[in-house]
């Protein structure tokens, strides 16, 4: 075969690659993501206004309830269908985080409760918590130094 | 065995593909080729407890049914490959078959490699060999990609792993008088043009297929007019276009003769499969189901089969390595 | 009331659209996007911008994973005010303990009850 450089080949296949319908995908992500957030707001409002729970606790309860709903939908095999349609619309909300915890836990069930479900539960979500804590630690450390110096 | 050129070998004996058997899952069976497959399972778990067990069951079914249909033949060797780590599907099938066994691996081109090795065995004096290649969407997904219930979205150029298994009986006697022969093989080189996107397997495999086709034509001093069809494994229609334009740079025009199993097995417009099928079973089921029947009926007489494989592992791609491709060609002909 | 829900919808939707563009235009996979969002949430809260977004978008800003980052940093900040140095370590997880514990516990229970099915 005639020599073709990696660059030339990349140009060729990028040009032939099937096109992604980005605009349509964004509309779907917008609508589904927006709806999930509205559900969150609804739960929060019910907790605060009807059940008279403090604002801080209501925020935690909202997360827990959304995670529960996502867990149930993942178990029933509905969440991956939503994800197929909505893309980032169902990945970015906390329900997507829950889905990324629960789906490997279910997937590796056959490998046993310890080396399967429990060991694999954070294969996808582990990095999220690591990076979340790491960046929080760095930012809070700066904030702490600022407080020590300023006061 | 006669060596032609650099990497092609033609056989002196008559080596027959005496019979084939194909087993597919539910999604493949609702595709355009459903009437050609020998057997399908409406549940891709096949009543087993894990998808790995289901894949083994499909592979075992394909091999056992094939041997049952041709019970006058006792194969000298079983050669096969699949996608799972340590090729467990094939080895666990061998555990059931009670036939001497060689496991091979060249990703989705495993059927091509198995057919090549098997015909060389027969050329060297063995009476017959049984070959299989299998894959399963759900086992491949967990090993290479993401958990099944993860709500992710893959790009339009991604591929859908075919669930199923294809088996063939390579023999020196044409027990069923089908007349389908393997005339020669071209062993492919590993080609890597720096594709790193693990969703873009087509682009990773096309250079290897092009390289193998060019070598095959040069070695045998023939051109595309010799064949009725040139069949690739799992490039899909996007990869097919890419292959044609890469070959045009080498003055080979196969556009009117090129067919791809990944594009044929699914209805890419109406079935949710992204750009088309992939996996070891993609070529093995389409060849042993569809093309073998066409060859038997003499609807087509000479085909060049080039299953293609992407030789990556999850580790290699996580470490940023590009994806090497490979393709192994064999000539299936009837007289 | 209607206005609140409209801004929740718009802010939440737009945050997801950014994710979708990252998903389609870059090689980032869903797991990478979650990491990007939580880190961005923490940093934006640190510079004080995320608080403003929460005041406009309410749940539209707290439900996306960047809101989880906001909760991490907010918890940490409060703990520093109360406990000093110790707060750097304890505050983040305190703020998000509910969500993380729920994910682990419900995840485990769901995995016990259901089996993963092939995608359609």
- What's B303's domain CATH number? 3.40.47.40
| Residue B83 is assigned to a structural domain of this protein | yes
Question: Using an 8 Å Cβ cutoff, are B167 and B66 in contact?
Answer: yes
| The pLDDT value given to residue C27 | 87
The answer to whether A95 and C81 have CB atoms below 8 angstroms apart is no
Residues C116, B149: C-beta atoms closer than 8 Å: yes
End-to-end CA distance of chain B: give it in Å, rounded: 20
Q: Within 13 Å, how many C-alpha atoms sit on residue B162's CB side?
A: 41
Taking CB atoms and an 8 Å cutoff, what residues of chain B touch C119?
A: 137, 141, 148
Res A2: pLDDT: 86
Domain that holds residue B193: 182-334
Residues B8 and B2: their CA atoms lie apart, in Å, by: 8
> Which chain A residues are Cβ-neighbours of B157 within 8 angstroms?
17-18
Phi, psi of B128 (to 5 degrees): -160, 160
Residues B226-273 pLDDT 10s? 999 999 999 999 999 999 999 999 999 999 999 999 999 999 999 999
Residue C118 belongs to some domain of the structure: no
- Chain B contacts of A75, Cβ < 8 Å? 149
Mean pLDDT, range C43-64, rounded to an integer: 96
Three-state SS string over A56-107 comes to HHHHHHHHHHHHHHHHHHHHCCCHHHHHHHHCHHHHCEHHHHHHHHHHHHHH
Query: Chain A interface, mutation test: which of C1, C10, C17, most A Cβ atoms within 10 Å?
Result: C17
- Residues B187 and B102 occupy one common structural domain: no
Q: Is residue C62 part of a domain?
A: yes
Residue B274 resides in a domain: yes
To probe the interface with C, which of A39, A54, A92, A137 has the most C CB atoms within 10 Å?
A: A92
β-pairing, B180-186 vs B8-10, is antiparallel
B159 and B230 inside one domain: no
CA distance B61 to B77: 17
Among B44, B138, B152, select the one facing C30 at the smallest CB separation: B152
Dihedral angle of Cα C51, C52, C53, C56, to the nearest 10 degrees? 120
Using an 8 Å CB-CB cutoff, list residues of chain B that contact chain C.
Answer: 44, 51, 137-138, 141, 146-153, 155, 163, 197, 272
Single out the residue in B171, B191, B209 at which a domain terminates: B171
Which residue of C15, C24, C102 is in closest CB contact with A67? C102
State the residue for tokens 């250079």.
B207
Residues of C in contact with B146 (CB under 8 A): 29-30
- With cut-offs at 50, 70 and 90, classify the pLDDT of residue C35: very high
pLDDT confidence of residue B102? 97
Residue B86 C-alpha, separation from nearest chain C C-alpha, in angstroms: 23
**Residue C25 domain flag:** yes
Distance between C8 CA and the closest CA of chain A, angstroms? 6
Distance from CA of A145 to the nearest CA of C (A): 9
Query: C30 and B147 in contact by Cβ < 8 A?
Result: no
| pLDDT at residue number B86 | 95
* Phi and psi torsions of B266, nearest 5°: -115, 155
CB contacts of C10 in chain A (<8 Å) are 34
Cβ-Cβ contacts under 8 Å, C116 against chain B: 138, 147-149
- The residues near A98 (Cβ < 8 Å, ≥ 6 apart) are A66, A67, A70, A71, A74, C102, C103, C106, C107
Q: What percent of chain A has pLDDT over 70?
A: 100
Q: Do C118 and B146 touch (CB under 8 A)?
A: no
Among B149, B207, B262, which would you mutate to test the A interface (most chain A Cβ atoms within 10 Å of its Cβ)?
B149
What are the residues whose beta carbons fall under 8 Å from the beta carbon of B320, sequence distance 6 or more?
B196
Q: Verify that B123 and B186 share a domain, yes or no.
A: no
Yes or no, beta carbons of C119 and B148 under 8 Å apart: yes
Spell out which residues of chain B touch residue C24, defining contact as CB-CB under 8 Å.
155
Size of interface B-C (CB pairs under 8 A): 26
Q: Can you tell me the distance from the alpha carbon of B187 to that of B215, in angstroms, rounded to the nearest whole number? A: 9
Residue A22: closest CA among C24, B237, C113: C24
State CA C43 to chain mean position distance.
12
- Is the pLDDT confidence value at A1 over 90? no
Could you tell me if B199 and B135 lie in one domain?
Answer: no
pLDDT on residue B135: 97
Q: Which range marks the domain in which residue C38 is found?
A: 2-113
Question: Does residue B39 lie within any of the structural domains?
Answer: yes
The CA-to-CA distance between both ends of chain A, in Å, stands at 72
pLDDT given for residue A106 in this prediction: 95
Contact assignment for A131 to C10 by CB distance below 8 Å: no
pLDDT at residue B301, rounded to an integer: 96
A93 and C115 within 8 Å at the Cβ level: the answer is no
How many domains, chain C?
1
Please state, for a pLDDT cut of 70, what percent of chain C lies above it: 100
Burial class (CB in 10 A: 0-12, 13-18, 19+), B192: middle
Average pLDDT value over all residues in chain C: 94
Are A38 and C12 within 8 A, CB to CB? Answer: yes
What is the number of domains present in chain B? 2
- Per-residue confidence band for C95, with pLDDT thresholds at 50, 70 and 90: confident
Distance CA(B323)–CA(B202), nearest Å, equals 11
Q: What's the pLDDT at A93? A: 97
Among A18, A69, A82, A93, the residue to mutate for chain B (most B Cβ within 10 A): A18
Report which of A63, A23, A19 is spatially closest to residue A41, judged by C-alpha positions.
A63
- Neighbouring C-beta atoms of residue B222, cutoff 10 Å: 14
pLDDT for res B335: 86
Is residue C53 domain-resident? Answer: yes
List all residues of chain C from 1 to 30 with a beta carbon under 8 Å from chain B: 23-24, 27, 29-30
Residues B200 and B282 in one domain: yes
Final residue belonging to a domain, choices B149, B171, B193: B171
Which chains border B (3 or more CB–CB pairs < 8 Å)? Answer: A, C
Tokens encoding B60: 């075992």
Structural domain contains residue B245: yes
Grade residue A22 by pLDDT with cuts at 50, 70 and 90: very high
Neighbors of chain C by Cβ distance (3+ pairs < 8 Å): A, B
> What ipTM was predicted for this assembly?
0.94
pLDDT < 70 positions in chain B: none
Task: Specify burial of residue A149 (Cβ count, 10 A radius: 0-12, 13-18, 19+).
Answer: exposed
CB contact under 8 A, B147 and C119: no
Inside any domain, residue B177: no
User: In this predicted structure, what is the pLDDT of residue C1?
Assistant: 80
Residue C23 distance to chain B (closest CA, Å) = 8
Q: Is the pLDDT of residue A151 over 80?
A: no
Q: Give me the pLDDT at residue A125, please.
A: 93
Q: Quick one: which H or E segment has residue C110? A: helix C86-113
B contacts of C29 (beta carbons < 8 Å): 146, 152
Q: How many CB atoms lie within 10 A of CB B104?
A: 19
* Buried residues in A95-111 as b, exposed as e (16+ CB within 10 A): bbbbbbbbbbbbbbbee
- Cα–Cα dist B114/B75, whole Å: 14
């Amino acid at each position: 075969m005639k020599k073709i450089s990696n660059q030339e080949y990349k140009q060729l296949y990028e040009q032939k690659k099937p096109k992604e319908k980005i605009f349509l995908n964004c509309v779907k992500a917008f609508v589904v993501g927006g709806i999930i957030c509205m559900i969150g707001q609804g739960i929060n409002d019910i907790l605060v206004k009807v059940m008279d729970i403090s604002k801080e606790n209501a925020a935690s309860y909202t997360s827990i309830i959304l995670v529960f709903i996502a867990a149930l939908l993942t178990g029933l095999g509905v969440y991956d269908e939503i994800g197929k349609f909505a893309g980032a619309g169902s990945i970015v909300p906390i329900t997507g985080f829950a889905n990324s915890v629960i789906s490997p836990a279910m997937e590796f069930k056959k490998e046993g409760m310890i080396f399967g479900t429990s060991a694999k539960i954070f294969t996808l979500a582990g990095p999220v918590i690591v990076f979340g804590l790491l960046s929080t630690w760095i930012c809070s450390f700066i904030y702490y130094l600022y407080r020590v110096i300023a006061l | 065995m006669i060596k032609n050129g650099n990497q092609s070998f033609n056989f002196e004996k008559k080596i027959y593909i005496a019979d084939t058997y194909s087993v597919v899952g539910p999604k493949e069976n609702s595709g355009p080729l459903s009437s050609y497959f020998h057997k399908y399972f409406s549940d891709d778990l096949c009543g087993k407890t894990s998808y790995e067990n289901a894949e083994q069951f499909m592979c075992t079914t394909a091999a056992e049914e094939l041997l049952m249909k041709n019970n006058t033949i006792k194969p000298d060797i079983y050669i096969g490959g699949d996608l799972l780590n340590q090729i467990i599907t094939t080895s666990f099938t061998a555990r059931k078959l009670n036939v001497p066994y060689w496991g091979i691996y060249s990703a989705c081109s495993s059927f091509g490699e198995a057919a090549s090795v098997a015909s060389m065995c027969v050329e060297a004096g063995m009476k017959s060999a049984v070959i299989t290649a299998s894959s399963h969407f759900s086992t491949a997904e967990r090993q290479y990609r993401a958990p099944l219930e993860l709500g992710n979205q893959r790009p339009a150029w991604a591929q859908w792993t075919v669930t199923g298994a294809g088996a063939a009986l390579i023999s020196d006697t044409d027990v069923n008088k089908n007349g389908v022969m393997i005339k020669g093989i071209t062993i492919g080189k590993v080609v890597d043009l720096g594709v790193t996107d693990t969703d873009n397997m087509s682009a990773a495999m096309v250079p290897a297929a092009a390289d193998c086709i060019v070598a095959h034509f040069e070695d045998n001093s023939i051109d595309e007019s010799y064949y009725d069809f040139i069949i690739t494994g799992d490039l899909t229609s996007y990869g097919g276009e890419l292959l044609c334009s890469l070959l045009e740079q080498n003055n080979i025009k196969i556009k009117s003769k090129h067919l791809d199993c990944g594009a044929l097995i699914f209805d890419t417009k109406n079935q949710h499969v992204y750009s088309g099928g992939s996996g070891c079973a993609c070529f093995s089921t389409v060849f042993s189901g569809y093309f073998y029947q066409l060859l038997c009926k003499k609807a087509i007489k000479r085909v060049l089969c080039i299953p293609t494989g992407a030789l990556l592992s999850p580790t290699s791609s996580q470490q940023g390595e590009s994806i090497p491709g490979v393709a192994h060609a064999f000539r299936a002909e009837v007289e | 009331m209607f206005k609140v829900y409209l801004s929740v919808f718009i802010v939440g939707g737009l945050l997801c659209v950014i994710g979708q563009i990252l998903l389609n235009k870059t090689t980032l996979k869903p797991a990478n996007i979650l990491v990007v969002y939580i880190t961005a949430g923490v940093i934006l809260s640190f510079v004080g911008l995320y608080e403003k977004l929460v005041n406009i978008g309410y749940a539209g800003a707290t439900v996306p994973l960047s809101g989880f980052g906001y909760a991490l940093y907010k918890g940490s900040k409060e703990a520093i005010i109360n406990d000093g140095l110790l707060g750097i370590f304890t505050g983040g997880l305190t703020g998000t303990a509910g969500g993380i514990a729920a994910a682990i516990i419900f995840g485990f229970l769901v995995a016990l009850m259901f089996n993963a099915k092939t995608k359609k």
